[in-house]
């Protein structure tokens, strides 16, 4: 659908396309009532019949409408015109932070902190109004030439009091900036936005993302499991104070992160302004020097006290000496007994039932202790290992430490059927299982990527059990011959292709003197090519001006036979063939009809459905 030049709501004139995401296209427009520029987000045409997308689209309007902050893009209006759903937002003359980072790789730490603190202010306001953004990333942060920051795209924002995300266990958010709890499918809170903003700060300081992988699932798992490199290892110029702030914002456990964006902002400010020494605030355990006692100066009293204490001191020395001699004698006896205990070979009890192993060790003169652990290799109740090892020499009476199997640790295998494969992999990993084999099959009732079946079925199994998954490839695709849509107007051509389950890419527009504005002048694949359903089709559409309009008189003489006759005139031009005249006439009447056409044309005249004339104009 051509949007440039269109007037929405009898008010907003579309000027140019600024960009777009998976759900909507973004345009620059003019508010003709208030004579100001605005940004308009329009839901993609393929989603207008999807109630879930429309619900998410409207949720953005509801979420941001409740917010009013200088660092959040304001929403001015929301509307619907036929199948077009749109949001009217404040126009920001600038670029997104992702492009800003690329074009400004050597920003000072002070400027970076200034930008991030503005985002903190925006998030603090949203969180105070129970709105969690859930998709904080540089692409959703706009920045003007004077480095004024605006947070936008609350398209997947969620009220902090709701829990709808856990009912579907769907991961929402951009995977390189996703929080660990979002990767696990847990309802995100304000600390999730703080984690994502920590990743943005990490990227601004180092020029790198903290985690990369072969695919979205691999990156999501790294957010859950791995620690990123310290920023100073990548950029030694980063101060330790600022590094501590980044790493605290990116803690895996939400409870260990900043609990509010305001706290995050305050620590950022302190980090760039400097702190007093390296001691943490509130450190009450720093080394302190305490005053010593003052010696007495009364010599007479000291001498008298020494005299009184002397007999008692002598008695104490004698008692202590006797105790030491007793201890030495006991120790000597113990050493003698230990040295003279015979050494014997430790029996091999590995693999035996624990009680049998204990009996064998006792008969050989040893004691036995047991530690029980889970094992996937050794059966429950049997000895996994022993210390000292089998066949080693040890003194009788020594305790042999036995490690005894509790059998495999049983975990609950989740039901991943009817989930997207990417979600299913994370669910299995989080539960302690691996996926071993994935079979893809056609399925008329399941969209591509949905898990149809799993083996084993949900239940209790040893940790690490491999799971086989059967995944839908969607309905089996039908083969088609590519139709010819050249010459059709864009809307008609798109509908014809969509009815064949073909995916029509955004059109390209070119000037043409042969085709009228809005007519399809080129297509790929070409007409007659063999294609399958869901194949992609590219269209080239004319911007005009097209061929000039022409006119010609067509003269027809009605037979003079005393009968009334039906006259039809058809014209064929660049628009196709069209019936331009149809009427009954009296016998002998001469009919002159002016015909309008574009470019080369041909005319056909029928009397009573019999071709009487065919000529080129």
| CATH of residue 366 | 3.30.10.20
453 membership: H or E segment, kind and range: strand 451-455
Residue 52 a catalytic site member: no
Same structural domain, 511 and 606: no
pLDDT over 50 (residue 285): no
Q: Is residue 306 part of a domain?
A: no
pLDDT at 292: 33
Same structural domain, 125 and 70: no
Residue 298: pLDDT band by 50, 70, 90 thresholds? very low
Tens of pLDDT, residue by residue over 392-404, are 888 888 899 999 9
pLDDT over 70 (residue 310): no
Cβ neighbours of residue 95 under 8 Å, at least 6 residues apart? Answer: 142, 143
Q: Count how many domains the chain has.
A: 6
Which range scores top for mean pLDDT: 38-47, 144-153, 437-446, 537-546? 537-546
Same structural domain, 400 and 381: yes
Contact yes or no for 557/549 (Cβ under 8 A): no
- What mean pLDDT is predicted for residues 557-568? 93
Of the residues 225, 250, 273, the one at which a domain ends: 273
- Rounded to whole angstroms, the Cα distance separating 580 from 591 reads 14
Q: Position of tokens 């306001």?
A: 125
Same structural domain, 104 and 138: yes
Same structural domain, 440 and 358: no
Same structural domain, 398 and 427: no
Tens of pLDDT, residue by residue over 369-393, are 998 888 878 888 999 999 999 988 8
pLDDT at 279: 35
Phi and psi, residue 376, nearest 5° = -85, -15
Residue 341: pLDDT band by 50, 70, 90 thresholds? low
Q: Is the peptide bond before 545 cis (omega within 30 degrees of 0)?
A: yes
Same structural domain, 590 and 509: no
Distances (CA, A) of 40 to 88, 473, 478: 5, 36, 38
The mean of the pLDDT values for the chain is 83
Of the residues 437, 457, 472, the one at which a domain ends: 472
pLDDT at 108: 92
Cβ neighbours of residue 42 under 8 Å, at least 6 residues apart? Answer: 3, 24, 25, 26, 27, 84, 85, 86
Q: Is residue 27 part of a domain?
A: yes
Considering only residues 168 and 480, tell me which one the structure prediction assigns the higher pLDDT: 480
Question: What is the CATH number for 16?
Answer: 3.30.200.20
**Which member of 52, 93, 95, 135 is catalytic?**
135
Same structural domain, 536 and 558: no
Give the pairing of strands 131-132 and 158-159. antiparallel
pLDDT over 60 (residue 65): yes
Domain extent for 81: 7-90
Residue 281: pLDDT band by 50, 70, 90 thresholds? very low
pLDDT at 23: 73
| pTM > 0.85: yes or no | no
Same structural domain, 361 and 375: yes
pLDDT over 80 (residue 308): no
pLDDT at 343: 84
Same structural domain, 110 and 36: no
Same structural domain, 136 and 233: yes
pLDDT over 50 (residue 597): yes
Q: Is residue 337 part of a domain?
A: no
Question: What is the CATH number for 597?
Answer: 2.60.40.2560
């Amino acid at each position: 659908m051509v949007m440039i030049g269109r007037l929405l709501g009898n008010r907003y004139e579309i000027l140019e396309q600024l960009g777009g995401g998976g759900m909507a296209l973004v345009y620059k427009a003019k508010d003709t009532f208030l004579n100001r520029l605005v940004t308009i987000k329009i839901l993609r045409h393929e989603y207008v019949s999807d109630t879930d997308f429309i619900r998410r689209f409207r949720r953005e309007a509801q979420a941001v409408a409740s917010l009013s902050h200088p660092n959040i893009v304001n929403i001015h209006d929301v509307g619907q015109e036929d199948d077009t759903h749109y949001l009217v937002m404040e126009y920001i003359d600038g670029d997104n932070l992702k492009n800003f980072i690329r074009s400004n790789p050597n920003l000072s730490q002070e400027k970076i902190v200034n930008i991030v603190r503005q985002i903190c202010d925006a998030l603090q306001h949203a969180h105070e109004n129970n709105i969690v953004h859930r998709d904080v990333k540089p692409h959703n942060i706009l920045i003007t030439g004077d480095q004024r920051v605006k947070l936008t795209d609350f398209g997947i924002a969620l009220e902090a009091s709701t829990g709808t995300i856990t009912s579907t266990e769907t991961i929402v958010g951009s995977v390189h900036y996703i929080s660990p709890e979002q990767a696990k499918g847990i309802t995100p809170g304000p600390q999730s936005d703080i984690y994502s903003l920590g990743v943005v700060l990490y990227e601004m300081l180092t020029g790198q993302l903290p985690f990369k992988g072969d695919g979205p699932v691999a990156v999501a798992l790294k957010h859950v499991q791995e620690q990123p490199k310290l920023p100073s290892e990548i950029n030694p110029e980063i101060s330790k104070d600022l590094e501590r702030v980044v790493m605290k914002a990116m803690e895996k456990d939400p409870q260990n992160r900043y609990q509010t964006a305001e706290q995050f902002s305050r620590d950022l400010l302190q980090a760039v302004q400097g702190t007093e020494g390296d001691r943490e605030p509130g450190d009450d355990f720093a080394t302190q020097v305490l005053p010593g006692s003052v010696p007495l100066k009364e010599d007479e009293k000291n001498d008298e006290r020494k005299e009184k204490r002397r007999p008692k001191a002598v008695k104490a020395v004698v008692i202590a000496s006797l105790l030491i001699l007793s201890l030495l004698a006991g120790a000597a006896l113990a050493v003698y007994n230990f040295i003279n205990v015979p050494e014997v070979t430790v029996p091999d009890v590995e693999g035996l039932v624990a009680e049998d192993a204990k009996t064998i060790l006792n008969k050989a003169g040893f004691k036995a202790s047991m530690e029980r652990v889970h094992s996937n290799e050794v059966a429950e109740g049997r000895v996994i290992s022993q210390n000292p090892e089998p066949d080693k020499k040890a003194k009788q009476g020594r305790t042999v430490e036995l490690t005894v199997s509790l059998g495999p640790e049983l975990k609950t295998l989740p039901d991943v059927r009817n989930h997207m494969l990417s979600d299913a992999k994370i669910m299995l990993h989080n539960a302690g299982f691996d996926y071993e084999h994935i079979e893809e099959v056609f399925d008329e009732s399941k969209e591509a990527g949905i898990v149809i079946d799993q083996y084993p079925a949900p239940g209790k199994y040893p940790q690490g059990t491999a799971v086989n998954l059967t995944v839908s490839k969607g309905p089996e695709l039908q083969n088609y011959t590519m139709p010819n849509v050249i010459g059709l107007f864009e809307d008609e051509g798109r509908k014809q292709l969509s009815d064949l389950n073909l995916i029509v890419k955004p059109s390209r527009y070119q000037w043409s003197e042969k085709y009228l504005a809005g007519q399809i002048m080129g297509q790929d694949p070409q007409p007659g090519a063999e294609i399958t359903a869901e194949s992609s089709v590219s269209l080239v559409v004319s911007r005009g001006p097209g061929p000039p309009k022409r006119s010609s008189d067509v003269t027809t003489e009605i037979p003079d036979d005393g009968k009334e006759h039906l006259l039809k005139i058809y014209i064929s031009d660049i628009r196709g063939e069209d019936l331009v005249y149809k009427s009954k006439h009296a016998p002998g009447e001469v009919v002159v009809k002016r015909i309008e056409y574009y470019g080369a044309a041909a005319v056909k005249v029928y009397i009573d459905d019999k071709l009487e004339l065919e000529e080129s104009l």
